[in-house]
Structure 1
Amino acid sequence: MRVKILVAEDSTVERTIIKDMLSDYQVLTACDGVEAMHVLNEHNDVDILILDLNMPRMDGFQVLEALRCDRRFKNLRTIILTNYDELENEIRGLRLGAVDFIRKPIHMHSLKARIDVHVTLLRAQQALEQRLDEQTLTFDMIFTQAPIGIAISHELKGHDKPVIKVNPMFEQIVGRTEEEINIIGWEKITHPDDLGEDAENLKKLRAGEIGMYCMDKRYIRPDGSVVWVHMIVAPLILPEDRIFGHICLVQDITDRKIFEEALHESERSKSVFLSHLPGLAYRCNYDREWTMQFVSDGCYALTGYRPESLLNNRELSFKDIISPEYREALWNKWKEVLAQRQQFKYEYEIITATGERKWVLELGQGIFNDNGEVEALEGIILDISDRKAVEDALKYNNEHDRTTGLYNREYLISLLENDLKKKKDIKKALIGVNLTAVQLLTVKYGFNYTQSLIKKAAAVLSALCSENRQLFHVRENRFVFYIVGYSDKNELVEFGNAVAETLESLFITDRINGGIGIVEIDQHQSEINAELLMRRMLLATDRSINLYDNDYVICFYDDELESMVNREIEIERALFAIANDTGTKDELFLHYQPILDLKSGSICDFEALCRLKTEKLGLVSPAEFIPVAEKTKLIIPIGEKVIINAFKFLSRLNENGYGNISVSVNISVIQLLKPEFTDRLLELIAKMNVNPGNICLEITESVFSSDFARINKAINKLRTAGIHIAIDDFGTGYSSLAREKELNVDSLKIDKYFIDNLLDANPDKVITSDIISMSHKLGHCTVAEGVEHDIQLHYLMEHDCDRVQGYLISKPLDENNAIEFLKNYSA
C-alpha cells in the first residue's frame, strides 16, 4: 500500500520543501482550506493530512470542523502545523480531531521522521485488523524492522501488571530490554515531570473519553541520561481474555528538542536585544527616502519620532531625519558597499524631533533576491553621541600631558611623521629641555613639590611660544620645542639662550640645572624618522648635562654624536646579520678563560667569553655590543649560538680526555625570562649529548631587580636537570644578600672591583673576605674574577676562596690554545 498524503499550506515554498522531503510517499498539495476540501472530496483514499492552521479563505480550524462532521474522513489522520508559541491553537486543534502537531519553523528531517511514525502506525493497525497469516507476517516484519519504537501493552485477567511487548528500536531508544521494562514498568522509566500527564491521558484513553493521544515526553535511561520522544498512544481491540490493550509509538526527538530550545533562546535573545538596543533596528527600501518597512521601538528614544510615523513615510521619511550634509555621502556609501556586497558601516549625524543633533553608527547589509537585485536593506542604527564625547575626551587625554596640559610625546611624534612625509623645503628643528635634576628634589620635598615646579616650568616656557614655535611635554622632566620656519642657526642659539635664561631665573632658589639640546631636521636625509630625531635630541640634551653640570648650555647634535649613533647602528646591523646567518663577514666567536680550583690546584672550568669582530668596526668590546644585543632582543638568537658553540667546546674537551672540566656560559636575564628558554636549553643538551653537570650558567646580578619569582622558577628547573648556576659580578650593583638567600644558585663570582681593592688598601679594611665568608655561610661556592697579581691570589687562598680566574692564571684563549693550555698545565 502506498500512503497518500495531502499538504495544505498557503506558502508555495513550504509546500514544495515538504513535498520533496516526503518523496517516498504520494503527496498532494492545496494552497488553502477550500482547495484542501476539494482535493479530499476527489481523493477519498488520502491517509494523512498535513494542515496549516493559518490559511486564507478557509483556515485549518474550519477544515477540522468539516472533517469531524463527515464520516468519510473518520480514518484520516490530521497533523496540524502551528507556530512555536501557539499552544492554545495546538490544544484546540487536537480537540477538533488532529492526532499530532508540528511547530514552525519546520525541521524537515524531524517532519519526515514524524510522518514515518504515523505511517508505521497506519500499517500496524491495518495488519492487526486483518486475521490472515500473510498479513500477520507483515505486521511482525513491520514490528521488528520499523525505524521507530513500538510498544504493545495489554492486561490479562487475573494478572496485576500489564504485559508489554516492545520492538528492538524501542529497546534502543530507552536503553532497556523488553524483560527489564516488564519488570520495572513504564512508570519507572518515565521522567517524573511527565508522569502525571501521561497517566492522566492513559486514564482517559481507558475510559473511552479520547480515541488516542500524543505527547512529547522523556525517558530515563539506565545511565541517568534523558531521551526526548514524541509518543502516540492508541487503543487496541484484543480478544476477550485481555481486558485492555494499547499500542505506543515513540520517535527519538532529542535533537529536535535541542533545536527548539536553541530557537526559543534565539527568539528570547532577539527580544532582549531589541528591547535594550541603544538605537533602532530597521528594514527599508533601497531608495533615496530610505522608506521604512519595519522600525523597532527604539526609534522613539533615538529620534523622538514614533516608529509608525516612519513606516512607508507616513508622516516623514528617514531621509528627513538625516543631517543634510550627510545625505549624499550616506547614499554613496551604501551604493559602494552594495556593489561589492560588503557589510555597511558608517557614522553620521541625525536631527531629532526636538532639534538635537546626535551622532549615530549605522551597521547593515543588503538583502538580494534570486536575480541579484537589492530587495531591501536591513540593519541597526546606534546612538554613539556619548561615545563621541568620550572619544573627544580620550583624544584630548591621548594628545595632552595631564600635569601641564601641553601636547605630549605621542602627539609630537605623529606631527613629526606627518611633516616628514610632506618633504617641504622649510627649516625645522627640535629644542629639547632636560630637567631631570628636578627629580632629585622629590626625596627632599615630595612629589607634589616637584610637580608644581614642572607646572611652573611649563607656564614660563609656554610664554616663549609663537606661531612657529610649539611646546610639548614629552616626559615627566623633559620639554621639547618644535620650531618651523626659522632663518638660521643663530636664531636657534638665541632662542636656546632665552630658554636657558628663563629656566635659570625660575629655578634660581632651587639651584636646578638642566640641559638644552638642539637637533636640526634634514628631512631629505635617508632613514630619517620621528623616533630617530627624538633619540638624537635626547643624546644632545644628555650631553649638555654631562659636559656642563651646573649650567644651561646649548649642545647641538653634531658629528661626534652622529658617529656614536652610527656606531651603535652598525653594531646592531652586524648582530642582526649574525643572528640571521645572512653570510656577512661579521663574526661572533668565543674565547675561553680558565678557572682554577684553589683546593685541588687544577683547572676545573672555562668561562666562555663572547667576542665580536665586524668588517667596518673591527673588534668591538662586549661592554659595547652586549647592551645593544639586549636592547634589540638580538641577545636571544645570538645567545643560542653562543650556547651551541660552548657545548661544542665542551664535547671537544670530553673527546680530549677532560670530561671533568666544565664550561660556564653567560646568560642574559632577558633570555632567562623567555618562557621557552629552559626547555630549549635542555633540548640542546640532549641533542648535543653533553653532560648537564659540566654546564654552568652565569647570570648577571641584575637578576635581583627582575621578576624574581619567574627567575627562581627557571633556575630551579635548570638545577633539577643538573646544571650549575652562578651569579656574575656580585657585589657592585643590584646585589642583595637578602634576595640572594632566596635565589637558588650554586656559586657567587666576586666582582673584579673587590679584587682590585686588594692591591691598594689595607687588607684588614677590605670586605672581600667578608663576602667570601657570607657566601660560604649561604652554602655557595665562591669564585674571584680579575686575579692578576700574586698578592691577590695569596689573600684569596688565605681567606678560603674556592676558585679564581684572571690573567694571573691565563688570558682568554681560543679553543685550540685552551686545549693546549690544559695539556701544559697538567704536565
Structure 2
Amino acid sequence: MPLKILLVDDSATERQQIQMSLSQYHVISASSGFEAMRLLEEHPDIALIILDLNMPGMDGFQVLDKLRSDERYGKIRIIILTDNDEPENEVRGLRMGAVDYIRKPFQKESLTARIGIHAELLRIQQELGQKMRDQKLTVDTIFKQVPVGIAVSHNYAPATEEENPYFDVNPLFEKISGRNRDELLRLGWAKITHPDDLEEDLANYRRLKTGEIESYAMDKRLIRPDGSIVWVHMIVASLPLSDEHQYNHVCLVQDITERKAIEKALRESERSKSVLLSHLPGLAYRCNYDRNWTMQYVSEGCFKLTGYRPESLLFNKELSFNDIIAPEYRELLWEEWKRILPARQPFKYEYEIITANGERKWVLEMGEGVYSASGEVEAVEGIIIDITDRKEMEDKLKYSIEHDRWTGLYNLNYLEELLDREAQNSDETRALVGINLSTVQSLATTYGYHYTQGLIKIVANALAKLCTDKRMLFSTYENQFAFYLKGYREKNELLEFCDSIVSTLESLLAVERITGGIGIVEVDPIKCQDAERLLKNLLVASERAMNSGDKEFGICFYDAELEQEIIRQNDIKNELAAIVSGEENGGLYLQYQPILDLKTNRICAFEALARLNSARLGRVSPLEFIPIAEKTKLIIPLGWKVIRQALGFLNKLKEKGHGDISVSVNVSVIQLLSKDFASTLFGLIGQMQVEPANICLEITESVFSSDFEQINNILRELREAGLSIAIDDFGTGYSSLARERELNINCLKIDKAFIDNLAWLNPEKAVIGDIISMAHKFGHYVVAEGVEQEKQRQFLVGCGCDKIQGYLISKPLDEKDAVALLA
C-alpha cells in the first residue's frame, strides 16, 4: 500500500499543488488544525503529516503540542511548512517534534525528494525492526536495496571495530562521501563535516541521544578526501541496537549539490533581476491578449529599443505596440501566439519593428501566457530584445556559406540545395551546363597563383553577364563553373547558349592558350536524380568535352551512351577490385611476346603483357583497363600480381633449361613511386629465387615528367641490384636523346610508330639509325617494337639495331605456347 500522508494547510491552492506533486502517495488533506485532529482519529494508519504553521483557529504549533502530548501519535513523522523569512519558526517547530521543514514557495523536485527520503526512512525503520527481530536478513542486504546513502551507528569521534561493532555504510554513502567504510569508522562523522555545519549538527545529535527528539533533518556539507565539498540532505533517526551501545541511530543522506547550485543561481537571479532589466538590450512587458497587445507594464528599455517612452504605450495611451510591429509580421505574430497559448507552450518568434524615427530593427520576442484558475488567458508576459546585429551577422554568415569567396558567385553547396529543393517542385525543363577550365592551373607555375585567380575572376565576371532570370551561374569546383538553366524549349537552345559561352571564353583566354570543356546534363523530371549524381555526371561530361576533338572548347552532352561508358568503367573497376581483393588472379593473366636477338637470330627474351578476361565483361583491352587501374590506384596491387606471374614464368623457363632467357615487365610510374617499391621487389625476387639479371623493367618515357630526380634515383638502385631498365615507346613522350645520357637505363625500345614509317619513308630519311647510333654511344642496347615486315627487319639490321619484337617474330603467346616456341 502507498504511504498515507495527512496534508494540513488552510490554502486550497497550496493543498492542490502539493497533492499533485505527491500523486504517488495516498494524500488526505485538512484545511485547519481541528479538521486535522479529527482525521487523525479516523485514520490511525497515517504515517506522515505535512503541517502548515500559519493557520487561523488552531495553528500548526498548537497541533504539534497536541500531537506531542498524545502517545498514540508518537511514531508519526511531521514535516512543517514555513516561509523563507521565518527561521525562528523552523527551530521552534523542530524542537516541538517536527523532523524536517520545507520552505515556501516550494519547488516540486525538492518537495518530492524530501518526502521520498522520509517515506524511505519510514519503510527502512519498519523493515529494519522487523528483519532484525526475525533475524532473517542482514543490514547489508537492505543497504543494497535503498537508493539513498545510509550509515548505521556512525560514530561521532574516531573509533575502532571493537569500539563500534555495529557500524556499517552502504555503497552509495561511500560514493557520496568519497570514503570507504574503514576511513569513515577511523575518522568519525565530525571530521568529515564542514566546520560551518558542525555546531548545528552536534546540537541536534545531542538532543537525539538524550531522547529529546527521535530524529532530525538538515542540509549540510561533507568534505571529501580531495578537499571538494558535497551538499547532502541528511536525516538522522533513532535506531535501537543495544542498550550498552552509544551510537543507536541511522543516518540517511541524499546528494543535493546540484540542487544547491540551482538554488544559489536562483537567488543570484533574483538579486540581479533589476540589474538585468536595466541592461537588457530591449524591454520586458506584460500585456493583454488582444490584437493591440495593450501594455499593462513596459520596462525602461522600451525607449532605447523603439524610440517611444514606456508610458506612451501603457494602455495604448499614444499608440499600441501593434502599431510598432512591421505590418507584414502583425498577422503572423498573432497566429503564432494563438497557436501556442492553448498548449501552454513558451513563445519564441523573430520579427521586425519600426522605431519612432522610421528605422527597422529585428527583435526576438520570448514570452508565455498567464492563466487564471479556470485556464483562461489573463495576460501575456515576456521580453523583446534587439537582435539586429545578430541578424546582420547571420546574413553575412549565410552569404559566406552560399557564395564563393573569390568570385562572389553562388557556390556548390547552394547549387546542391537548390537542385534538391526544386527536384519535386518544378514543372519546367531544367539543365546544368558545366564549364571546366582546369587547364588554367598550368599558368600558376609560370605566372603564380594570384595571376590565375585574377584570370578566373575576370572569366566569372564575363560569364555573369550571360545570366538571366532563367539562368544562374555558380562557382562549383576550382577553376570550374556551372550554369543552372530553367524553361528552355529544346536541346538546340542549350547548344546555342554553349556557343555564347565559347565566344566569351575564347575572347578572354585565346592569348593564354587555355582550353576547356563544356558539359551539359539535362535534369530528368521523372528519374528525380539527386544533386550529387547530377553534378557528378556534369563533371564527367565536361571532362569528356575537353578531350572530344580539335576545338579549344569542346561541348559534350551527358547521354545514355556516355552513361553506359561510365557504367562500363565502373564495371571494369569493380572487376579489378575483385581481382585485387582475391588471393587468385581472377581474370588477370599474362601473354608473352618474344624478343629476337638480331646478332644470334635467337629468342633472348619475352615481354610480359597483362590481359583481362572477365566472365561478365569478356576480354577487356589493356588500353581500356590499364588507365582505369592507374586512375583508381589499383595499378599498384595489380602490378604486383603481374610481376609475381612474370617471375613464376621465369622459373618455369629455368626448369625447362632456358635459364638465359629474360622477361620484361611494364611498370606504372604510380607503382614505381609507391612506398618501398624497390625493397619489396628485392624481397619478392629473393623469395622466388629469380636471377635479377633475367628481369627487365619497362617504363614509359613520360614518367620523367613527374619527378625526374626521384625516379632516376629509384632506377639507379634497381640497376645496381642487377636488373635491366628499358625506356618503352621511346620517341613519343617526354625524353630526348640529349637527356638520355642522364637516365639510369640499359635499353631503348623504339616505338612502333617509327617502325611503321619505314614502310613509306625513304629509309635514308628515317631517324632510327641516328637514335640507334646515339644509344650505342651511351652504352644502351636498342629494341625495335612492332616489326611486322621483313624489309623493316633488314633495315634495322643495317642500322645496327640489337633486338626486335613484333608480329614478324610472333604475336603475344600464352605461357604454354611461349615455352613451346623455345623448344
TM-score w.r.t. the length of structure 2 is 0.56
Task: Note the C-alpha offset of 1:385.
Answer: 2.7
Task: Note the C-alpha offset of 1:325.
Answer: 1.7
Residue of structure 2 aligned with 1:592, choices 586, 590, 593: 590
| 1:686 alignment counterpart | none
Task: Note the C-alpha offset of 1:329.
Answer: 3.4
1:230 aligns with 2:228: no
Contact 1:362 1:382 in 2 (8 A): yes
1:592 aligned partner, one-letter code: L
| 1:260 alignment counterpart | 259
| 2:567 alignment counterpart | 573
Q: 1:5 to 1:207 in 2, by over 3 A?
A: closer
Q: 1:715 to 1:394 in 2, by over 3 A?
A: farther
2: CA distance, partners of 1:320 / 1:714: 79
Contact 1:434 1:541 in 2 (8 A): no
User: Alignment partner of 1:350: what SS?
Assistant: strand
Q: 1:657 to 1:374 in 2, by over 3 A?
A: farther
Q: 1:311 to 1:458 in 2, by over 3 A?
A: same
1: CA distance, partners of 2:365 / 2:380: 11
| 2:816 alignment counterpart | 820
Residue of structure 2 aligned with 1:732, choices 694, 701, 704: 704
2: CA distance, partners of 1:569 / 1:766: 43
Contact 1:653 1:659 in 2 (8 A): no
Residue of structure 2 aligned with 1:323, choices 303, 321, 326: 326
Q: 1:620 to 1:562 in 2, by over 3 A?
A: farther
| 1:251 alignment counterpart | 252
User: Structure 2 matches for 1:393-542, cutoff 5 A?
Assistant: 393=396, 423=428, 440=443, 443=446, 512=512
Residue of structure 1 aligned with 2:115, choices 111, 136, 139: 111
Q: 1:823 to 1:269 in 2, by over 3 A?
A: farther
- Cα-to-partner distance string for 1:587-625 (whole Å, 9 max, x where unaligned): x9534255999xxx999996745579999xx98765566
User: Alignment partner of 1:80: what SS?
Assistant: strand
Q: 1:758 to 1:596 in 2, by over 3 A?
A: farther
2: CA distance, partners of 1:714 / 1:298: 74
1:756 aligns with 2:730: yes
- Cα-to-partner distance string for 1:215-268 (whole Å, 9 max, x where unaligned): 3567799999999672425699998xx7x95632212424xx366368659969
User: Alignment partner of 2:590: what SS?
Assistant: strand
- Cα-to-partner distance string for 1:184-241 (whole Å, 9 max, x where unaligned): 36348745668834764268549979756433567799999999672425699998xx
Task: Note the C-alpha offset of 1:734.
Answer: 2.0
| 2:354 alignment counterpart | 351
- 399-408 or 387-396, which deviates more: 399-408
Contact 1:6 1:50 in 2 (8 A): yes
Task: Note the C-alpha offset of 1:572.
Answer: 0.2
Contact 1:608 1:646 in 2 (8 A): no
User: Structure 2 matches for 1:97-496, cutoff 5 A?
Assistant: 98-101=98-101, 104-106=107-109, 108=112, 111-117=115-121, 151=152, 164=164, 166=166, 184=186, 186-187=188-189, 190-191=192-193, 196-197=198-199, 200-201=202-203, 205=207, 211=213, 213-216=216-219, 230-232=234-236, 245=246, 247-254=248-255, 257=256, 260=259, 288=291, 319-332=322-335, 347-352=350-355, 356-360=359-363, 383-393=386-396, 423=428, 440=443, 443=446
Q: 1:449 to 1:269 in 2, by over 3 A?
A: farther
1:771 aligns with 2:744: yes
User: Structure 2 matches for 1:799-810, cutoff 5 A?
Assistant: none
| 1:677 alignment counterpart | none
- Cα-to-partner distance string for 1:710-763 (whole Å, 9 max, x where unaligned): x85999999999999x997584232354599899x9999999756636999999
1: CA distance, partners of 2:411 / 2:212: 84
Q: 1:388 to 1:122 in 2, by over 3 A?
A: closer
1: CA distance, partners of 2:607 / 2:499: 62
User: Alignment partner of 1:701: what SS?
Assistant: helix
2: CA distance, partners of 1:410 / 1:90: 65
Q: 1:805 to 1:720 in 2, by over 3 A?
A: farther
Q: 1:819 to 1:489 in 2, by over 3 A?
A: closer
| 1:701 alignment counterpart | 670
Q: 1:186 to 1:316 in 2, by over 3 A?
A: farther
Q: 1:824 to 1:380 in 2, by over 3 A?
A: farther
- Cα-to-partner distance string for 1:670-718 (whole Å, 9 max, x where unaligned): xxxxxxxxxxxxxxxxxxxxxxxxxx997643996xxxxxx85999999
5+ unaligned residues in a row in structure 2: which ranges?
A: 576-585, 596-602, 656-664, 689-696, 756-767, 788-803
Contact 2:517 2:542 in 1 (8 A): yes
User: Alignment partner of 1:253: what SS?
Assistant: strand
Contact 1:230 1:250 in 2 (8 A): yes
Q: 1:649 to 1:760 in 2, by over 3 A?
A: closer
1:49 aligns with 2:49: yes
1: CA distance, partners of 2:558 / 2:254: 78
2: CA distance, partners of 1:542 / 1:591: 31
| 2:60 alignment counterpart | 63
- Aligned-residue sequence identity (percent) comes to 29
2: CA distance, partners of 1:518 / 1:819: 47
Task: Note the C-alpha offset of 1:114.
Answer: 1.8
Contact 1:423 1:523 in 2 (8 A): no
Contact 2:241 2:248 in 1 (8 A): no
| 1:673 alignment counterpart | none
2: CA distance, partners of 1:120 / 1:349: 61
1:186 aligned partner, one-letter code: G
Contact 1:229 1:250 in 2 (8 A): no
2: CA distance, partners of 1:352 / 1:402: 35
2:670 aligned partner, one-letter code: E
Q: How many residues align?
A: 712
Contact 1:84 1:104 in 2 (8 A): no
Contact 1:429 1:521 in 2 (8 A): yes
Q: 1:206 to 1:569 in 2, by over 3 A?
A: closer
Contact 1:82 1:90 in 2 (8 A): yes
Contact 2:160 2:186 in 1 (8 A): no
1: CA distance, partners of 2:24 / 2:288: 34
1: CA distance, partners of 2:681 / 2:382: 58
1:701 aligned partner, one-letter code: I
Contact 1:362 1:379 in 2 (8 A): yes
Q: 1:47 to 1:463 in 2, by over 3 A?
A: closer
Q: 1:112 to 1:645 in 2, by over 3 A?
A: same
Contact 1:468 1:485 in 2 (8 A): no
Residue of structure 1 aligned with 2:69, choices 47, 68, 72: 72
2: CA distance, partners of 1:332 / 1:345: 13
- Cα-to-partner distance string for 1:399-444 (whole Å, 9 max, x where unaligned): 777667678888899999989956489xx99898979779749845
Contact 2:519 2:556 in 1 (8 A): no
1:260 aligned partner, one-letter code: R
2: CA distance, partners of 1:101 / 1:490: 86
2: CA distance, partners of 1:209 / 1:479: 90
1: CA distance, partners of 2:345 / 2:160: 71
Task: Note the C-alpha offset of 1:50.
Answer: 1.9
1:248 aligned partner, one-letter code: H
User: Alignment partner of 1:575: what SS?
Assistant: helix
2: CA distance, partners of 1:447 / 1:248: 83
Q: 1:394 to 1:29 in 2, by over 3 A?
A: closer
1: CA distance, partners of 2:734 / 2:49: 113
